[in-house]
Every structure is written in structure tokens, then in C-alpha cells.
Amino acid sequence: MSQATVLYDAPGPKARRRSRVISVVGVLALAALLGWVVWRLAQPQVAVNGNETPGMLDPSRWDALAYSEVWQGIGEGVWNTLRAAVVAMAGALLLGVLFAFGRLADSLLIRIPVTVVLEFFRGMPVLLMMLFILLVASTGAFWAVVIALIVYNGAIVGEALRAGIVSLSKGQREAGLSIGLTPVHTRLIIEFPQAFTQMLPILIAQMVVLLKDTSLGYIVAYAELASTVKNMSNYYGNRYMFTFWLVAVVIYLAINLTVSWLGRRAARMAAARGGAVTGAAGAVVDASAGGGGAAGTVAGGAGGGGRT
């Protein structure tokens, strides 16, 4: 029996014909909806007082894109968005590792306070954290945005890494401890590389969320892309609001799709390599133990556990 027919029967001629009909009808419906949206945007806009303005697709609503200062402002907004996102991503990953260490600590004096702090940060809205950091710490708009994103997303990353470590076989940790590695070294050398590989799709998805959350920086007057577009709409007039926001949407989609594509590619590469990360960890364990049959046995056991 082939793998394709394990969970369901292979579709017959009628089912395949019905599937093709449904697909064609769906495509036609989507095309009709898209056509209606384009037609609706092209229609003149009539205000409550009876004044008529050109449609959203009228050339007079797009001539502002010919100004170099418009693209300069958009470019600065994109740069500020990427700058805050990259710094926050690095900080969130580091903080997530620390949170995972604390949540998995053997001592209750460490584990319980870390759990309370982590749950508090997870439950706090990012918007309020940005405003609170700016008003209380007077850090400036950039660091208010970055610190809030680091704290919130670090808590999410920490829980993801903790879940990845918990899902590993207990033999992984026991193998490292049996050859004399400290609990911290075992966690860093053996468990964290495997947990990071397993949780990579979740981590990438959270980084995309982080990048989109930079748009909340408007609350502290940080000149990221969304705030820049809003200010440009106010400066050039509501006539160009749709144009500027459409450009911003396209830029956000391009950035987020690029990050998602890189994440999927990294996940596929990690899956294709199989136990390469575990093998490298085992090699480090072997080197830390000074070689020998016992270390080789432990490394081999860790490699087998990573492939399970």
C-alpha cells in the first residue's frame, strides 16, 4: 500500500472531476472579487457634502511617488524598522536562552521567580511596555521599542526552547552528565542545539511577528515605516493616503515573505542534514571528555537520540 493511500482512498474519476470543477469555480470567484475591488477603487469618491474626488487609481493620486523626498522618507522608515527589528531579534534570542535556563533550573528558588517574570512579560501588551519604558526609564524612542520587543519576544522564545528541550530524550542529558560534563555544559553543548533545530519554524514565525510589531513604535514617536507613512499622509494630504499605505503594505509583505522564506529554507536545510547538529554536539562532548571509548559511546547515543 502506498503512503498516499494510508489515510484515505485514492480519488476516482468522479472525485477528480469534481475537484477540478471546484478549483475552476474558486479561481473564477477570486478573479471576480479582484475585478470588483479594482473597479470599486477606480470609481470617483463622493463625500458626504457632495464633493467628488478622483478614484483611488486615478493618476493624480500617484504623482507624489515621483518626488525623491517621498522615497527618501520611506527609505528612512524602512531602515528604522529593520534596525529595530534586527537588534530586537538578537536580544530576544539571547534573553530566550536565559529564560529557558531559568525555567529548567533544578532549584525552585530560580525556577519559580523566572516563571513568574516570564508569564508577566508574556501577558503584558507590547504597546504598554514601550510607553512604560519610555516614560519611566527615559531611554529614547529607539530603545523603548527595542527593549519592549526583546522582553516580550524573549519570553515567547524562552518557552519555545524550553518545550524543545523537554521533548528531547532524557538519555541526551544523562549521557552528558555521565562523562563528567556540568549541567550547564550539557545544556549548551547537547540539548540547546537540538532544541533550537526542532523549534526553528516556531522561532522564525515569532521573528516575523516581532518585525511586524515594530509598527507599534508610533506610540513613542519612533519613525518606523508605518509612522513615517502616516506622517507623510498628513503632510501631503489625505489625497495620497491610499497610495502611501499601499506602498507600505507592499514593503511589509516583501520583508515578511523574505524572512519567512529564509526560515523555511533554513528549516529544510536543518532537516536535510538530519543529525548534523547532534553529531557536532557529540564531537564536542568527545573532545571535552578527552576522547576514549566512553565518550564515543555517549556521542553515538546522543546522535541516535537526535534522530529518533
Residue 99 belongs to domain spanning: 68-307
Return the pLDDT at 144.
94
1 lies in some domain: no
pLDDT digits (tens, 9 = 90+) for 179-230: 878 877 888 788 888 888 888 888 888 988 999 899 999 889 899 999 999 9
The C-alpha torsion from 201 through 205 and 210 to 212, rounded to 10°, is 150
22 lies in some domain: no
pLDDT digits (tens, 9 = 90+) for 153-182: 999 999 998 888 888 888 777 888 788 788
DSSP single-letter state for residue 139: -
9 lies in some domain: no
- Regarding predicted confidence, which is higher, 58 or 254? 254
Q: How confident is the model at residue 307 (pLDDT cuts 50, 70, 90)?
A: very low
- Domain of 149: which CATH number? 1.10.3720.10
pLDDT digits (tens, 9 = 90+) for 285-298: 454 444 444 334 33
198 lies in some domain: yes
Whether 90 shows a pLDDT value over 80: the answer reads: yes
Whether 278 shows a pLDDT value over 60: the answer reads: no
Judged by average pLDDT, the poorest of 28-37, 121-130, 220-229, 259-268 is 259-268
Return the pLDDT at 45.
77
DSSP single-letter state for residue 44: P
| Residue whose C-alpha is closest to residue 202's, from 161, 237, 243 | 161
Judged by average pLDDT, the poorest of 22-31, 41-50, 277-286 is 277-286
**Percent of the chain whose predicted confidence (pLDDT) is above 70:** 85
Cα distances (angstroms) measured from residue 294 to each of 178, 187, 286: 9, 19, 9
- Regarding predicted confidence, which is higher, 240 or 184? 240
Q: How confident is the model at residue 284 (pLDDT cuts 50, 70, 90)?
A: very low
110 lies in some domain: yes
Residue type for 85, please?
A
How many structural domains is the chain composed of?
1
242 lies in some domain: yes
Q: How confident is the model at residue 104 (pLDDT cuts 50, 70, 90)?
A: confident
Return the pLDDT at 79.
95
Q: Whole-angstrom Cα distance, residue 38 to residue 152?
A: 39
Contact by Cβ (8 Å): 60, 54: yes
> What is the number of residues in the chain?
308
DSSP single-letter state for residue 53: E
Burial 28-62 (b: 16+ CB within 10 A, else e): eeeeeeeeeeeeeeeeeeeeeeeeeeebbeeeebe
Whether 83 shows a pLDDT value over 60: the answer reads: yes
24 lies in some domain: no
Mean pLDDT, all residues of the chain: 81
Return the pLDDT at 308.
38
Q: Whole-angstrom Cα distance, residue 61 to residue 14?
A: 50
Return the pLDDT at 228.
92
| pTM for this model (two decimals) | 0.73
Return the pLDDT at 6.
55
Classify residue 130 by burial, with Cβ atoms within 10 Å: 0-12, 13-18, 19+: buried
Please state the rounded mean pLDDT for residues 50-58. Answer: 78
**Percent of the chain whose predicted confidence (pLDDT) is above 90:** 33
